[in-house]
Amino acid sequence: MQNTNFETYLFPNGTIDACYLNVTLNVPCKQESVPPIGVDIRKPEDAQAAINFARRKNLRLVVKNTGHDYLGRSAGRGGFLLWTHHLKDKAYNATFVPQGAPSTQTYEAVTFGAGVQWQEAYDYVDEQGRFIIGGLAQGGSVGAAGGWVMGGGHSAFSPSLGLGVDNVLEFTVVLANGKLVTTNAYQHPDLFWALRGGGGGTYGIVLSATYQTHPNFALTTPTIQVNFTSPEIAQSVVTELFRLHPDLSDAGWGAYTWVFPEAMMAIFVAPNVTVDEANKRFEPLVSHAMNATGGAVIYTAPAFSNFTAWWKESFQGGPPQVGGNVEISSRLLPREMAKERPEEVARIALSLGVATNSVAGGAVSRVDPESTGLNPSWRKAIAQVYIAEIWEEGANSTTILASRERLKQGTDLLDKLTKDSGSYLNEGSLYERDFKKSYFGSHYPKLKKIKDKYDPSSLFVVASGVGSDEWDAELRCRK
Ligand SMILES: Cc1cc2nc3c(=O)[nH]c(=O)nc-3n(C[C@H](O)[C@H](O)[C@H](O)COP(=O)(O)OP(=O)(O)OC[C@H]3O[C@@H](n4cnc5c(N)ncnc54)[C@H](O)[C@@H]3O)c2cc1C
C-alpha cells in the first residue's frame, strides 16, 4: 500500500495488528488487513475465473491496483485479492472509434491495461507526440486506468482539458457474473456513466481504459511564495488568492497551493501560455502580496517547451511518496463561495493549514453534470481543499485515534466552505457524516440502481462506496 496505515488493523480494544516497514520497532509481522490469498491477473480469463470463484464461495473480494487509496479500499482483512498491477498493455490508435459509434467518430486515443501507472502512461503518450490528462504525483505511481479515473481523476490541467472522467472513451470490464464487456457511450451506457465517478471496486474489474489524447503544448508555471509576519498580512494575501481564483480557473489555470499561517506557496500551470502572458495574469496577486508583506515574496515563471519537460523536472526525479501513515479529508470549494466570500475561505484555510488542488472550474465546469456519474458538486467547484493527519509508524492506538478526531474536527470546519459537503471520493476520509451526499451527491440513487443491475449480489463492496451501507463495518456480512 502507498499509505501503510490502511494495512494496519486496529482492534476495538486498541490492539494493533501490523507489519511495520521499520523492523527496528521489533514488532512481530502480522497479516493485518492485507488479504492472505489472491490472484495476480495477467489476462481476462484470470479475472473471470477469480470472480466466478469468489462469487460461488461468497468471498470478501478486494480489488487492488497500486494500493494508493486514501480510504483503504484496496485492502481488506481476510479478503480474496484480485491484483491488476501486471496488466501493462499500452496501445495508440490515431483513428480510434468507440465500439458501436459511427465510423466517423474518431479520436487520437490510447488504451491502457488496468495496471499501467501514470509515469509509464506519460512516457508512452509522449512517444506519440501527444498529451493526456492524468494524475500528477511524485514518481508517477498512481494507476492510470484504475481507481483514479473511476473516482474522477483530476490534474492541474483539468481546468483546461477536463477530468479523467471527461476524457475516458471506453472501458473493458469483467462483471460480477464473469462476463467480459466493452462499455462506452454506445454499449452499456448506464455502466459507462456509473464507472465515471461511481468509484473503483464497485461495478466490476476494469481491465483497460481508453482515453482521448490532446496535442502537446508549451507551458509556463508561475510560482509564488509568500512569507507572512502577521495574521493580518496572511489574511490579506490569502483572501486575494481566493478572490482571483474563479477567474484564473475560467482562464484554464490549474494550481497546487499550500496555505499556512506563516507562509503560502502556489504553483500554477496552464497550457499554451507565454511568460509575458503569465506575468501579466499574475501581476495583481504578486503586487498585492508585495504591498502587504513589504516585499517578502518570491515569484518566478519558468517556461517549458512541452509537458514532458515540466513533468521530468517537477515529478520524475524524486522518490515515490510511499510508506506513510496518512489520512486526509477534503471539500470541493464552490465557485460562488470563493467569488462572494473570499475572506471567509481565507480565514478557514489559514486556521486549518490546507493544501488546495485547483483542478476544477474552467473546462470541468463546462461539462454537463449529468453526463457522468461523478458527484455534480465537481461541476460547480473550482478546487479541492484538503487537510491531512500524519503519524509515525508504530504509533499506539491513542495517538491514531487522536489524529482521527482532529481530522473529524477539521472536516467540520472545512464544511463551512460548502453548502453540500461535496468531497472528492479518491481524496477523502472514512469519517463523513453522510458519505452518499459527500462523495456522490444527487447521483447516488442512480448509481445504486446501476450497481444493483450489474452486481445484484454485491460482490464488489468498498468502504464509503455505493451500496456499502448495506454491509457491516468490515464489509463481510450484510446488515
Ligand atoms: C501520492 C498520491 C498522489 C495522488 N495524486 C492524484 C492526482 O494527481 N489526481 C487524482 O485525481 N488523484 C490523486 N491521488 C488519489 C488517487 O486518485 C487515489 O488514490 C486512487 O484511488 C488511486 O487509484 P489506484 O487504482 O492507483 O489505487 P488502488 O488503491 O489500487 O485502487 C483504488 C480503488 O480503485 C479500485 N480499483 C483499482 N483498480 C481497479 C480496477 N482495475 N477495476 C476495478 N476497481 C479497481 C480499488 O478496489 C480501490 O477501491 C493520489 C494519491 C496518492 C497516494
Residue 138 pLDDT:
86
Tell me which of 33, 61, 65, 88 to substitute to probe ligand 1's pocket, judged by most ligand atoms within 8 Å of the beta carbon. Answer: 65
Mean pLDDT by 10 residues, the chain (479 residues): 90 93 91 95 98 96 96 96 98 98 98 97 97 93 97 98 98 98 98 98 98 97 97 98 97 97 97 97 97 95 96 79 89 96 97 97 98 98 97 95 97 92 96 97 98 97 98 93
Q: How far is the CA of 127 from the centre of ligand 1 (A)?
A: 25
- CA-proximal residue: ligand 1, atom 28 (nearest): 67
Q: How far is the CA of 282 from the centre of ligand 1 (A)?
A: 33
Assess contact for 112 and 68: CB atoms under 8 A: no
Q: How far is the CA of 400 from the centre of ligand 1 (A)?
A: 23
| Atom of ligand 1 at shortest range from CA of 205 | 42
Architecture of domain 4-84+443-470: 2-Layer Sandwich (3.30)
* Residue 217 buriedness (CB in 10 A; 0-12 / 13-18 / 19+): middle
Which class does domain 219-439 fall in? alpha beta
How far is residue 366's CA from residue 400's CA, in Å, rounded to a whole number? 41
Tell me which of 61, 63, 321 to substitute to probe ligand 1's pocket, judged by most ligand atoms within 8 Å of the beta carbon. Answer: 63
Residue 7 Cβ inside 6 Å of ligand 1? The answer reads no
Topology alike, domains 90-215 and 219-439: no
Residue 321 pLDDT:
67
- CA-proximal residue: ligand 1, atom 13 (nearest): 135
Tell me which of 426, 439, 475 to substitute to probe ligand 1's pocket, judged by most ligand atoms within 8 Å of the beta carbon. Answer: 426
Residue 64 Cβ inside 6 Å of ligand 1? The answer reads yes
- CA-proximal residue: ligand 1, atom 52 (nearest): 68
* Residue 93 buriedness (CB in 10 A; 0-12 / 13-18 / 19+): middle
Residue 73 Cβ inside 6 Å of ligand 1? The answer reads yes
Residue 320 pLDDT:
63
Q: How far is the CA of 69 from the centre of ligand 1 (A)?
A: 5
3-state DSSP call for residue 61? strand
Count of all residues that appear for the chain in the document: 479
How far is residue 52's CA from residue 179's CA, in Å, rounded to a whole number? 10
Q: How far is the CA of 322 from the centre of ligand 1 (A)?
A: 14
Residue 426 Cβ inside 6 Å of ligand 1? The answer reads yes
Q: Return phi, psi of residue 315, to 5°.
A: -125, -25
Sequence ranges of the domains in the chain: 4-84+443-470, 90-215, 219-439
3-state helix, strand, coil in the chain (%, to 5): 35, 25, 40
Pairing of strands 354-358, 381-390: antiparallel
Residue 119 Cβ inside 6 Å of ligand 1? The answer reads no
- CA-proximal residue: ligand 1, atom 15 (nearest): 426
Q: Where are the alpha helices (DSSP H) in 251-306?
A: 275-293
For the segment 326-349, what is each residue's pLDDT rounded down to a tens digit?
999 999 999 999 999 999 999 999
Instruction: Specify the CATH number for 90-215; select among 3.50.50.60, 3.30.465.10, 3.30.70.100, 3.40.50.300.
Output: 3.30.465.10
| Atom of ligand 1 at shortest range from CA of 154 | 11
How far is residue 374's CA from residue 173's CA, in Å, rounded to a whole number? 19
How far is residue 108's CA from residue 89's CA, in Å, rounded to a whole number? 17
Residue 201 Cβ inside 6 Å of ligand 1? The answer reads yes
Residue 69 Cβ inside 6 Å of ligand 1? The answer reads yes
What sign does the CA torsion over 215, 219, 221, 222 have? negative
- CA-proximal residue: ligand 1, atom 50 (nearest): 142
Long-range pairs for 180-184: beta carbons < 8 A, 24 or more residues apart: 180/44, 180/47, 180/48, 180/207, 182/99, 184/98, 184/99, 184/100, 184/101
Residue 74 Cβ inside 6 Å of ligand 1? The answer reads yes
Q: How far is the CA of 451 from the centre of ligand 1 (A)?
A: 20
3-state DSSP call for residue 301? coil
* Amino acid in the structure at residue 8: T
Residue 36 pLDDT:
95
| Atom of ligand 1 at shortest range from CA of 3 | 53
